[in-house]
């Protein structure tokens, strides 16, 4: 089907806009470059002829829009514009990578190939989305521009996501927030990262998005008046010192405001740092940029008193994505803390446009030194060229390399190392060398002996204590934060498990031979439940590791194991427990999707949604059940990013048929006093007739903190309870834990 005359006019206008953008950016050096771009446009237009997007617009408008983002918002050149125009041609039409190579060049063909999704790269059990993402990442070994074009593609898809059905929106936003957002950050594309986050929130949580957006608009005039009041004396000082600068008040993104509200469970009105002041200045040749930044900082702190705990020096040690700036929080007029960001024009370009600006300045200074982005890309390339693992593990490990908050620690000889915030001495050990991590038994942190699992802080000096007899433990996987540490531990444990499996299988075979029994499937099905093992490999591994003793094997073989089988499977079928606070017949109280097929509904243990929570269903096809998660559950986001096809299309609703109690947890902080626990338990058990599962309170230096696990019927009852707890004398804060 051909495009209409109106379609052709619209396509022509968008093409003219792209040409104008290329001219403004001065990316074409000669007529050959222009011809390269024109040929790409006409080939893409012909390839996508008559095809429309879900929104109804001609499909060719999408690659044009991606190319516009590449030019205007990132600042890449001719080859990237051509690849952006052609990025869907091989995937969606009859054109092949070979056709692209013949018509353009091997480099363009390689870039388009990297941008083309590829089915069947990994085994069918792996997530196709994860496999596709790895396919794209493999191009990092050759050309990082492929990743950046993919981010531009994702940005335009997010801008037009409204045309998609709800389950597709959940899948795409989950992929975006789980991987594309941290990837954009890691490549220094801050503006794109921020917009992606806001768009994810707009489609996943539209009500909250609109509410925060409205409140930002409502407070605009008041905020602008304060900003003018705050910057007036700063402007006077900068003008006096003949500094060329731009100063502005930047509003925090809607997503970051919402995240803070969620994390601290506070209202919009309680957030004091809605905006920050940014000073971008033209640096002089001398003294150094670093010195000039500190001079401006000194002038500002002559006016306003700084908070020493909120000083962030990313000039002396830039972030791993190359970000450089000086951030300080100062006490402004009317007792309000205000963040001030100081950066040069070069720093600002890199902060906003990331990779493209990074290379522009690198080439301008003819610097051959490795900077932070170079080091990260080198690390990723090494990982990509390492042993092949399944796509899901690869995806998880790659995400660990996208951490956004860093600390700087030191070796005994004073070498600085960057690690993610929250890293342990064990992460440090593996960062030094895999063998040091594998044989670590402890650490000297600032000359004091600590456990190897101890969390380390910025500025710590660390020495790892090793022993040849020490080996990685499975529980280490729960504490490490870097992909290198996790991969090294997994590799060792996998080798160890394989050895245990072989050893355990031989031990079981020999023991069975003594009883004149052959090792076969029937025997395994009989003894596995007795040893509480879900697979034969688990059984063999535990036998080989000495966890399971075979001393009573003869007795087990003679017994009727049916009762043990029943007991074992009760432990592993979700919802089949016998908790006294939950009615036996749960099915009617669980959410209903209004389908006649009646799959089993299971409450997700990771987030424990309760009636009143917005929920999303994830289909577990293997067990014919739907696992119900809170809509903002991090585990759901990860699942949707990896297995988006399993998100339930229908809206999940809570049934009103039966009053059933659901488990949730709350966190409390306050000033300790005699009788506060008594007051607390009276309100919960007597006034609200709510059963408590556990209560844990710790008190120190007159302050207490703790958690309480409760069985409640719905969010309305829970919120009413929390409101009453807040009225207790000494209670400073009480909130529902986000992940429960």
Residues taking part in catalysis: 91-92
450's enclosing H/E stretch is strand 448-450
Does residue 698 contact residue 706 with C-beta atoms inside 8 Å? yes
Task: Using DSSP, state whether 462 is helix, strand or coil.
Answer: strand
Strands 703-712 and 691-700: antiparallel
Q: Which of 391, 398, 387 is nearest to 126 (CA)?
A: 391
State the Cα–Cα distance between residues 395 and 417, nearest whole angstrom: 24
Query: SS3 letters for 466-504?
Result: ECCCCCCCHHHHHCCCCHHHHHHHHHHHHHHHHHHHHHH
Instruction: Report whether the peptide linkage leading into residue 287 is cis, meaning its omega lies within 30 degrees of zero.
Output: yes
Instruction: Supply the DSSP symbol for 178.
Output: I
Neighbours of 466 (CB within 10 A): 16
State the Cα–Cα distance between residues 210 and 207, nearest whole angstrom: 5
669's enclosing H/E stretch is strand 662-671
DSSP secondary structure, 390-428, as one string: -HHHHHHHHHHTT-S-EEEEE-TT--EEEEETT-BHHHH
| Distances in whole angstroms, Cα of residue 304 to Cα of each of 151, 230, 280, 333, 525 | 40, 9, 19, 9, 74
Length, in residues, of the chain: 740
Our CA angle for 722, 589, 654, nearest 5°, is: 70
State the Cα–Cα distance between residues 585 and 237, nearest whole angstrom: 72
Those residues whose C-beta lies under 8 Å from the C-beta of residue 692, and which sit 6 or more positions away, are 681, 684, 685, 708, 709, 710, 711
142's enclosing H/E stretch is none
706's enclosing H/E stretch is strand 703-712
Those residues whose C-beta lies under 8 Å from the C-beta of residue 20, and which sit 6 or more positions away, are none
> In this structure, what are the phi and psi dihedrals at residue 306, rounded to the nearest 5 degrees?
-85, 155
Query: SS3 letters for 207-256?
Result: HHHHHHHHHHHHCHHHHHHHHHHHHHHHHHHHHHCCCCEEEEEEECCHHH
266's enclosing H/E stretch is none
State the Cα–Cα distance between residues 102 and 138, nearest whole angstrom: 23
Per the listing, tokens 């070498």 go with 415
State the Cα–Cα distance between residues 309 and 458, nearest whole angstrom: 13
| Distances in whole angstroms, Cα of residue 406 to Cα of each of 423, 457, 486 | 9, 10, 18
663's enclosing H/E stretch is strand 662-671
State the Cα–Cα distance between residues 60 and 77, nearest whole angstrom: 20
């Amino acid at each position: 089907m051909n495009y209409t005359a109106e379609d052709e006019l619209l396509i022509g206008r968008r093409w003219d806009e792209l040409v104008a953008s290329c001219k403004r950016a001065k990316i074409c050096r000669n007529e050959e470059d222009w011809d390269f771009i024109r040929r790409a446009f006409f080939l893409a237009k012909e390839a996508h002829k008559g095809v429309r997007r879900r929104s109804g617009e001609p499909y060719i408008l999408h690659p044009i829009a991606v190319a516009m983002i590449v030019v205007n918002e990132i600042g890449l050149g001719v080859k990237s514009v051509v690849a952006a125009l052609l990025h869907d041609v091989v995937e969606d039409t009859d054109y092949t990578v070979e056709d692209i190579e013949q018509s353009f060049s091997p480099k363009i063909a390689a870039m388009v190939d990297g941008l083309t999704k590829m089915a069947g790269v990994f085994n069918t059990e792996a997530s196709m989305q994860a496999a596709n993402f790895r396919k794209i990442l493999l191009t990092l070994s050759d050309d990082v521009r492929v990743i950046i074009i993919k981010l531009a593609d994702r940005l335009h898809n997010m801008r037009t996501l409204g045309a998609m059905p709800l389950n597709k929106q959940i899948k795409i936003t989950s992929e975006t927030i789980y991987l594309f957002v941290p990837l954009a950050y890691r490549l220094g594309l801050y503006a794109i990262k921020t917009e992606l986050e806001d768009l994810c929130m707009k489609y996943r949580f539209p009500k909250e998005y609109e509410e925060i957006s409205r409140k930002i608009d409502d407070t605009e005039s008041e905020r602008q008046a304060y900003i003018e009041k705050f910057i007036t004396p700063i402007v006077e000082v900068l003008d006096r010192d003949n500094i060329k600068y731009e100063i502005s008040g930047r509003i925090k993104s809607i997503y970051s405001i919402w995240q803070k509200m969620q994390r601290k469970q506070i209202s919009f009105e309680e957030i004091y740092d809605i905006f920050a002041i940014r000073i971008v200045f033209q640096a002089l040749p001398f003294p150094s940029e670093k010195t000039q930044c500190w001079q401006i900082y000194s002038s500002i702190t002559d006016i306003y008193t700084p908070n020493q705990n909120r000083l962030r020096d990313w000039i002396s040690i830039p972030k791993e994505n190359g970000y450089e700036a000086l951030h300080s929080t100062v006490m402004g007029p009317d007792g309000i803390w205000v963040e001030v960001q100081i950066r040069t024009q070069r720093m600002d370009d890199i902060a906003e446009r990331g990779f493209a600006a990074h290379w522009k300045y690198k080439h301008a200074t003819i610097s051959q030194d490795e900077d932070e982005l170079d080091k990260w890309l080198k690390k990723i390339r090494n990982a990509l060229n390492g042993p092949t693992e399944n796509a899901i593990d690869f995806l998880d490990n790659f995400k660990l390399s996208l951490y956004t908050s860093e600390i700087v620690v030191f070796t005994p000889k004073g070498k600085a190392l960057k690690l993610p915030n929250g890293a342990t001495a064990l992460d440090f050990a593996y960062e030094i060398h895999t063998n040091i991590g594998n044989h670590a038994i402890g650490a000297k942190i600032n000359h004091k002996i600590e456990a190897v699992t101890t969390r380390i802080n910025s500025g710590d000096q660390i020495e790892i204590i090793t022993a040849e007899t020490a080996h990685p433990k499975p529980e280490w996987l729960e504490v490490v934060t870097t992909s290198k540490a996790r991969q090294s531990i997994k590799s060792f444990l996998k080798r160890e498990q394989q050895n245990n499996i072989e050893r355990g299988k031989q031990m079981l075979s020999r023991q069975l031979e003594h009883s004149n029994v052959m090792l076969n499937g029937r025997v395994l099905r009989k003894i596995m439940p007795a040893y509480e093992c879900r697979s034969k490999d688990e059984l063999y591994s535990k036998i080989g590791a000495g966890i399971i003793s075979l001393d009573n094997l003869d007795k087990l073989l003679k017994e009727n194991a049916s009762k043990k089988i029943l007991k074992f499977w009760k432990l592993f079928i979700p919802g089949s427990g016998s908790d006294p606070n939950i009615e036996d017949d749960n099915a009617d109280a669980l959410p209903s999707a209004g389908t006649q097929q009646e799959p089993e509904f299971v409450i997700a243990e990771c987030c424990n949604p309760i009636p009143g929570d917005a929920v999303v269903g994830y289909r577990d096809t293997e067990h014919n059940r739907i696992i119900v998660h809170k809509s903002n559950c991090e585990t759901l986001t990860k699942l949707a990013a990896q297995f988006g096809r399993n998100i339930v299309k229908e809206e999940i609703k809570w049934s009103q048929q039966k009053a059933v109690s659901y488990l949730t947890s709350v966190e409390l902080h306050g000033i300790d006093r005699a009788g506060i626990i008594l007051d607390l338990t009276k309100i919960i058990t007597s006034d609200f007739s709510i059963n408590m599962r556990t209560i844990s309170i710790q008190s120190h230096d007159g302050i207490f903190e703790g958690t309480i696990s409760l069985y409640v019927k719905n969010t309305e009852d829970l919120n009413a309870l929390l409101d009453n707890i807040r009225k207790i004398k000494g209670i400073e804060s009480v909130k529902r834990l986000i992940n429960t």
